[in-house]
Amino acid sequence: MALVVQKYGGTSVGDPDRIRNVARRAVETANAGNRVVVCVSAMAGETDGLVALAAELGGSSPSQREYDVLVSTGEQKTVALLSMAIHQLGHDAQSLLGWQMGLRTDSAHGRARIGEIECRRIHAVLDAGAVCVIAGFQGVDDEGDITTLGRGGSDTSAVAVACALEADVCEIYTDVDGVFTTDPRIVPEAKKLEQVSYEEMLEMASLGAKVLQVRSVKFAMRYGTPIHVRSSFNSSEGTWVTREEDVMEKLVVSGVAYNRNEAKITLRTVKDRPGAAARLFTPISDAGIVVDMIVQNLSIDGSTDMTFTVPVGDFAKALELAQSAAAEIGVGSAEGDENIAKISIVGLGMKDHAGVAAQMFRVLADEGINIQLITTSEIKISVVVEEKYTELAVRALHAAFVDAGAAEPVEET
């Protein structure tokens, strides 16, 4: 008897028929002899309606505490309705909200971080032979106030609960068949991956592959809980996200990711002295802006160029802060560019395989694409290019690395 946590997003529970479909899957899984926990999001569209009401009554910055009270009703509706639908199929089920399942968080309303999960009530429901239907996205803080984990937090809820329960698998149901080697809208030949490591998934998720939230992958990685990303519309095997040592075939490049939602800011001829970077990035961090890439070249003649990227939505604010820092540091000015895209290749195999970077740059050069920035990690190489080259770059890299041999096991070099 396995313990299975299933997570269904807003589209999968978007109307009564879809809720009934989810109920059927949960009951099938239970009838196959498993203990089943189902974690659900708000019905698609529900949250948008609540956000609009908050905007109307709470203005531009409604109280985050009350906002969480409001939006958490979305998942509350779904868990009750799904439990009823499971009952209609003749199986027992019981819903638990964030505070009822003891999903404790800090008090950062709207973006709370999970602390401890008391599994007592979940176990009690499972022990009684019922499907346990839990509300994603929400928790409770030490004051007894409702908190939410931020948009997409239902993935995190499901994986965190799966980790706390030491579940055999956390199934993430979505509207695609699994994790693909790249975006099929750009490359129709994109293939579904059978397996991918947490590390690769993290690089791909944070680079814009929207299948799984980064936070949820980090949770699963820490506890070694396998994630199975699969479609809620069929029963095909999807993609297993698992430990590196459990990945059977370590591909040189398992995927090509892209992200058009960043902007870059460059400070030229920064005096290369201690404290310049701190002076630049402290106010940006204080403003809650997440900086992604940071690139600084070797100093020439005691001055250097420094470039970094931020989400497009934070570009104006970040540029303003950078310009004020530039004036203080004694740099002419900070310049920015929103029309960029970050293109990355990701693969466990590349750390044992020389020449991947060189080949990537050659592929892009052959297409006449100029590379503006480069950063690398053990299992990822990212470049920033002009935004208009996004599709061309993704297709060329996919053809060169994935179609032409990514399915082959890595040769040790």
Which of 87/243 has CB closer to a second copy? 87
- Pick 41 or 94: Cβ nearer a second copy: 94
Burial of 234: CB neighbours in 10 Å, binned 0-12, 13-18, 19+: exposed
Q: Work out how close the CB of 126 gets to a second copy at its nearest, in angstroms, rounded to a whole number.
A: 16
Shortest distance in whole angstroms from residue 111 CB to a second copy: 17
d(CA 65, CA 274): 41
- What's the CA angle centered on 230, arms 227 and 235, to 5 degrees? 125
| Side chain identity at residue 92, one-letter code | D
50 belongs to the binding site for a second copy (CB under 8 A)? yes
CB of 397 to a second copy, least distance (A): 46
Crossing angle of helices 198-206 and 214-223, in 10° steps, is 170
Helices assigned H by DSSP within 165-269: 198-206, 214-223
Least Å distance between CB 354 and a second copy?
Answer: 57
Q: Please tell me whether residue 62 binds a second copy under the rule CB under 8 A.
A: yes
The single residue among 4, 5, 35, 99 that binds a second copy, judged by CB under 8 A, is 99
> Least Å distance between CB 62 and a second copy?
5
The residue assigned the tokens 């239902």 is: 154
Question: Which residues neighbour 293 within 8 Å (Cβ) at sequence distance 6 or greater?
Answer: 262, 264, 307, 308, 309, 342, 373, 375, 382, 384
- Does position 58 interact with a second copy (CB under 8 A)? The reply is yes
Q: Between the CA of residue 27 and those of 83, 87, 125, 133, 136, what are the distances in Å?
A: 11, 10, 15, 12, 19
Helix (H, G, I), strand (E, B) or coil at 368: coil
Segment near a second copy (CB under 8 A); pick from 24-32, 107-115, 140-148, 314-322:
140-148
Instruction: Find out whether 139 and 102 touch, Cβ atoms under 8 Å.
Output: no
19 binds a second copy (CB under 8 A): yes
- For a second copy, give the closer residue by CB, 104 or 395: 104
Asked if residue 220 lies in contact with residue 227, where contact means CB atoms within 8 angstroms, the answer is yes
- If binding is defined by CB under 8 A, does position 296 make contact with a second copy? no
- Tracing tokens 């638990």 back to the chain, one arrives at 96
Min. distance of Cβ 3 from a second copy in angstroms?
Answer: 23
In the three-class reduction of DSSP (H, G, I as helix; E, B as strand; rest coil), residue 198 is classed as helix
CB under 8 A: which stretch of 142-150, 164-172, 281-289, 329-337 binds a second copy? Answer: 142-150
Amino acid at 305: D
Going by DSSP bridges, is the β-strand pair 227-231/239-242 parallel, antiparallel, or unpaired? Answer: antiparallel
The piece of 94-102, 106-114, 232-240, 402-410 that touches a second copy (CB under 8 A) is 94-102
- Tell me, residue by residue from 107 to 136, as one string, x for binding to a second copy by CB under 8 A and - for no binding: --------------x---------------
# residues near a second copy by CB under 8 A: 39
Q: Does 63 bind a second copy (CB under 8 A)?
A: yes
Binding of a second copy by 73 (CB under 8 A): yes
Least distance (Å) between residue 157 CB and a second copy: 17
Q: Which is nearer to a second copy, 79 or 396 (CB)?
A: 79
| Contact set with a second copy (CB under 8 A) | 16, 19-20, 50, 53-54, 56-59, 62-63, 65-67, 69-70, 72-73, 76-77, 79-85, 87-88, 94-95, 97, 99-100, 121, 144-146
